[in-house]
Structure 1
Amino acid sequence: MTVNHRKLPAHNRGGRIEAPRGRSDLQARYERTLILARGSEMTGDKVEAERFCQQADHYRRLLNNQAA
């Protein structure tokens, strides 16, 4: 049995409720993902490092949109 997540409201997907993110929360998430990316690079996990870099880039774009 499969569940079509597109029909569910956002707060029911994965059991999480998406709260509006403030600038300080986004900044903290951005910095944390950069740290995780650097740590993954240091351990030699290139795939995980790239994933964290992409996630940090997403937060950076959100921060830039809020500043505009």
Structure 2
Amino acid sequence: MNLNHRKLPEADRRNQTDGRPGSDLRARYDRAVALARGYEAIGDKVDAERFYQQADHFRRLLNGRAA
């Protein structure tokens, strides 16, 4: 189990991807959609729906920041 993320202070963990505000949310959204599509492809409807719901949550957060 990789616990390296716990070594960083909370403020440093927020935007690790490229430093732009919201970029971490965008990466999390993209990952959730990719996982949902993967589970959908193998026929696991329950996990696919779970990841689509997570992606929807991240999309709403991104839209809230844009306003």
Same fold at TM > 0.5: yes
Letter in 2 for 1:58: H
Aligned to 2:37: 38
Larger radius of gyration, structure 1 or 2? 1
Aligned to 2:18: none
Aligned structure 1 segments of 4 or more residues deviating by more than 6 angstroms: none
Whole-Å Cα distance in 2 between the matches of residues 32 and 50 of structure 1?
Answer: 14
Equivalent residues in 2 for 1:1-68, closer than 5 Å: 22-68=21-67
Structure 2 length normalisation: TM-score?
A: 0.70
User: Identity across aligned pairs (percent)?
Assistant: 65
Give the gaps of 5 or more residues in structure 1: 1-16
CA RMSD of aligned residues (A): 1.6
Structure 1 length normalisation: TM-score?
A: 0.69
For this pair of structures, how many residues does the alignment match?
52
